[in-house]
Amino acid sequence: MYGYNQAAFINITGPWLEHMNGKKVLIIDDDIQLLEMVGFIYRKAGAQVLTASDGQEGISRVVSQKPDLIVLDVNLPGMDGFEVCRKIRLVSEAAVMMLTALNQETDMLLGLEVGADDFLSKPFSAEVLLARSRTILRRGQHSGVHSAAFLYNDGFLEIDVDRRRIQVGGRPVKLTAVEFRLLVFMARNAGKVLTFDMILANVWGSDYRGSIEHVHVFISHLRKKLQEDNHRPRRIVTVHGVGYIFERPVT
């Protein structure tokens, strides 16, 4: 099963076991061994665990059990993980973590389109799984990390942190919690080169160190919402091999 070490999973200890007490976790995967292993990890961390082996069963459990966190595999038989996530978003705002294998950036872009909150590539360690779970659950409870008053308006893009409002061309745009944090962080630091590590630390947190693909994918998705051409961006400009810079348009 993707090279997982059962003994390592059984012997997990440390701060990753915090913050899951009382949480309800639904795991949707057709791999029985993965269901058992991941279920064991969450139970050891104090969570109540539910499982489903296909998308339809998973959606039914979302409706009836109302989980706090959904761990959803991309590669499901019949209805794939993307379609399952899209249907989950019609009935639930629970945090969704998608498990990906190959073509991770492609999977992440598709996952963002259907409403996923985070992505974890296989194989993964128990510590990383729990750390990421803790982070996205905490993110949902404390979405106002970047809540200090901040206004930005260049005549086309408007950001109002107090009202948590983004407008593009006079029209409101809906951003996910991470997209909002990313845009506000970059706009607050307009004109500065922001390295991948700086962006990860300030938007995602220390548990995501080295996850450069998260930055690339979320920037690409954010540009679409800001109506930017990725090949000729107006505001979020790529500094190749280093990071990104938010530039105010020249008027």
In this prediction, residue 114 carries a pLDDT of 92
What domain count does the chain have?
Answer: 2
Whether 1 has a pLDDT exceeding 80, the answer reads no
Structural domain contains residue 52: yes
Structural domain contains residue 146: no
Residues of the domain holding 130: 6-141
Same domain, 217 and 137: no
Confirm if 51 and 35 have CB atoms less than 8 A apart: yes
**What rounded mean pLDDT belongs to the chain?**
87
- Exposure class string for 87-123: b at 16+ Cβ within 10 A, else e: bbeeebebbbbbbbeeebeebbbbbbebbbbbbbbbe
Whether 247 has a pLDDT exceeding 60, the answer reads yes
What are the residues whose beta carbons fall under 8 Å from the beta carbon of 114, sequence distance 6 or more? 82, 83, 85, 86, 89
108 confidence band (pLDDT: 50, 70, 90): confident
- Of the residues 95, 117, 141, which one is the last residue of a structural domain? 141
Structural domain contains residue 131: yes
pLDDT per position as a tens digit, 220-231: 999 999 987 777
Confirm if 244 and 199 have CB atoms less than 8 A apart: yes
129 confidence band (pLDDT: 50, 70, 90): very high
Same domain, 131 and 175: no
Structural domain contains residue 96: yes
Structural domain contains residue 20: yes
pLDDT per position as a tens digit, 22-56: 899 999 999 999 999 999 999 999 999 999 999 99
Same domain, 136 and 162: no
Phi, psi (5° rounding) for residue 7? Answer: -60, -40
H or E element, residue 137? helix 126-141
Q: Could you say which DSSP state residue 233 is in?
A: -
What are the residues whose beta carbons fall under 8 Å from the beta carbon of 140, sequence distance 6 or more? 95, 117, 177
Structural domain contains residue 44: yes
pLDDT per position as a tens digit, 57-93: 999 999 999 999 999 999 999 999 999 999 999 999 9
What are the residues whose beta carbons fall under 8 Å from the beta carbon of 70, sequence distance 6 or more? 25, 26, 28, 58, 62, 88, 92, 94, 95, 96, 97
Same domain, 34 and 120: yes
Same domain, 35 and 15: yes
In this prediction, residue 149 carries a pLDDT of 79
Same domain, 78 and 164: no
pLDDT per position as a tens digit, 143-174: 444 457 789 999 899 999 988 899 999 999 99
Same domain, 217 and 117: no
- Of the residues 89, 118, 141, which one is the last residue of a structural domain? 141
Same domain, 207 and 122: no
Same domain, 104 and 170: no
Structural domain contains residue 194: yes
In this prediction, residue 222 carries a pLDDT of 93
Between CA 182 and CA 192 the distance in angstroms is: 14
Phi, psi (5° rounding) for residue 64? Answer: -85, -30
CATH number of the domain within which 210 lies: 1.10.10.10
Structural domain contains residue 1: no
Same domain, 102 and 175: no
Same domain, 22 and 112: yes
In this prediction, residue 8 carries a pLDDT of 46
Same domain, 31 and 88: yes
- Of the residues 141, 172, 206, which one is the last residue of a structural domain? 141
In this prediction, residue 123 carries a pLDDT of 86
